[in-house]
């Protein structure tokens, strides 16, 4: 340290004043502020919300925060208790708990490239978010979480896509919304849409968590994996039907997915198209048209 510079003191996180009335007006606002900060403020936020519920058992927002904090802490017993309290109640707390549940489920997949799959917890979250959106139908945080709750659901229909599209209008660069919409598009068989959205997704954010909201999800990698599976399946179907030119055309559209960990798969898929075309070249005009003139069987192009 420069001798002429002032000393830097690492101040401890402020503790609660024992004379402060936790049931006073404004406690919820202070608890919300603490809960949305770093992890040092979470215990004090929990005290504020517990006091609010004690003062008013119908305090749905505080119950939602308590559920969210329990979910973030991995306290399944407390989370289940507060989720039961919120069951059937359309309050802002339902949306808070639903968002936390979705984030917790996505966090389970954060360490890999395989996109999230459907789960019972996402179904519970979807019900909570459904009721919360009745009160705040344009809330972008609720819409984002609601859309993500449909990930992996084969019968998602338009509801998740519509929610993500609505939220994306106000947050056009959000990796979470772009990634969610791309994955939902893949579930609906819209590979070209997913590839277009992929081009807009930036690198994985470095922020892992803020309060009870986990982050740092590898949306780009998840979409690449999902699109690769869909594209390879489509190429295989066209190749088996003898539509080699169409299969090759589809393979070419998959080039945005060509990254170090997918390159060998994509190269092998192209080889399989050509190998099958060579085998069928004697019998079909389609195969003969696809194979370059003068190419010998079994030889690379």
Residue ranges and CATH numbers for the domains of the chain are 27-217 (1.25.40.10), 238-290 (no CATH)
- The residue with greater pLDDT, 280 or 297, is 280
Residue 290, pLDDT > 70, answer no
Angle, helices 140-148 vs 120-135, to 10°: value is: 150
| pLDDT at 204 (0 to 100) | 81
Percentage of residues of the chain with pLDDT beyond 90: 60
pLDDT reported for residue 24: 39
SS3 of residue 210 by DSSP: strand
Q: 121-130 burial by CB neighbour count: b if 16+ within 10 A, else e?
A: bbebbbbbbb
Alpha-carbon distance 244 to 28, whole Å? Answer: 63
| First vs last C-alpha separation in the chain | 65
pLDDT tens digits for range 44-96: 788 888 888 888 887 788 899 999 999 999 999 999 999 998 987 778 899 99
pLDDT of 41 reads 66
CA 273 to chain centre: 33
**pLDDT above 70 (res 230):** yes
- Say whether pLDDT at 257 is over 80: yes
Q: What is the pTM of this model?
A: 0.82
Backbone angles phi, psi at 214, to 5 degrees: -70, 155
Crossing angle between the packed helical segments 263-280 and 244-253, to the nearest 10 degrees:
170
Average pLDDT over residues 272-281: 86
CB < 8 Å & 24+ apart, contacts of 123-130: 123/149, 124/83, 124/98, 125/97, 125/98, 125/99, 125/101, 125/149, 126/98, 126/150, 127/98, 128/83, 128/86, 128/94, 128/95, 128/97, 128/98, 128/101, 129/94, 129/95, 129/98, 129/99, 129/102
Tell me the per-residue pLDDT of 28-40, one tens digit each, with 9 for 90 and over. 666 676 666 667 7
| Per-residue confidence band for 106, with pLDDT thresholds at 50, 70 and 90 | very high
Supply the pLDDT for residue 11: 41
Cross-strand pairs, 213: 210
The predicted pLDDT at position 28 comes to 62
Rounded Cα gap, residues 217 and 221, in angstroms: 9
Asked whether the predicted pLDDT for residue 13 surpasses 80, the reply is no
pLDDT at residue 217, rounded to an integer: 94
Q: How confident is the model at residue 277 (pLDDT cuts 50, 70, 90)?
A: confident
Burial 191-206 (b: 16+ CB within 10 A, else e): bebbbebbebbeebee
Is the model's pLDDT at 132 over the cut of 70?
yes
pLDDT in tens, 187-223: 999 999 999 999 999 888 777 667 788 888 999 999 9
How far is residue 153's CA from residue 274's CA, in Å, rounded to a whole number? 35
pLDDT score of 160:
95
More confident: 279 or 168: 168
DSSP state string for 81-99: HHHHHHTT--SHHHHHHHH
Burial of 91: CB neighbours in 10 Å, binned 0-12, 13-18, 19+: buried
Range among 5-19, 41-55, 125-139, 204-218 rated most confident: 125-139
């Amino acid at each position: 340290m420069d001798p002429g510079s002032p000393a830097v003191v690492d101040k401890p996180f402020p503790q609660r004043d024992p004379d402060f009335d936790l049931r006073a007006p404004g406690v919820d606002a202070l608890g919300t502020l603490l809960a949305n900060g770093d992890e040092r403020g979470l215990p004090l936020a929990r005290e504020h919300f517990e006091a609010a519920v004690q003062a008013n058992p119908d305090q749905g927002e505080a119950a939602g925060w308590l559920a969210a904090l329990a979910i973030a802490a991995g306290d399944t017993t407390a989370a289940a208790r507060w989720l039961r309290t919120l069951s059937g109640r359309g309050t802002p707390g339902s949306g808070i708990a639903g968002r936390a549940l979705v984030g917790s489920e996505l966090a389970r997949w954060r360490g890999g490239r395989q996109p999230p799959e459907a789960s019972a917890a996402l179904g519970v979250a979807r019900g909570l978010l459904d009721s919360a959106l009745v009160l705040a139908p344009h809330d972008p945080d609720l819409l984002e979480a609601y859309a993500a709750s449909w990930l992996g659901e084969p019968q998602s229909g338009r509801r998740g896509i519509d929610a993500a599209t609505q939220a994306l209008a106000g947050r056009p660069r959000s990796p979470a919304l772009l990634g969610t919409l791309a994955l939902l598009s893949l579930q609906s068989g819209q590979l070209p849409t997913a590839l277009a959205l992929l081009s807009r997704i930036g690198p994985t954010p470095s922020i892992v968590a803020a309060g009870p909201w986990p982050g740092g999800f590898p949306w780009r990698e998840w979409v690449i994996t999902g699109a690769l599976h869909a594209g390879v399946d489509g190429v295989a179907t066209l190749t088996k039907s003898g539509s080699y030119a169409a299969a090759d055309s589809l393979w070419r559209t998959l080039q945005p997915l060509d990254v170090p960990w997918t390159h060998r798969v994509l190269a092998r898929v192209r080889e399989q198209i050509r190998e099958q075309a060579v085998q069928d070249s004697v019998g079909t005009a389609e195969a003969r048209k696809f194979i370059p003139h003068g190419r010998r069987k079994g030889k690379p192009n």
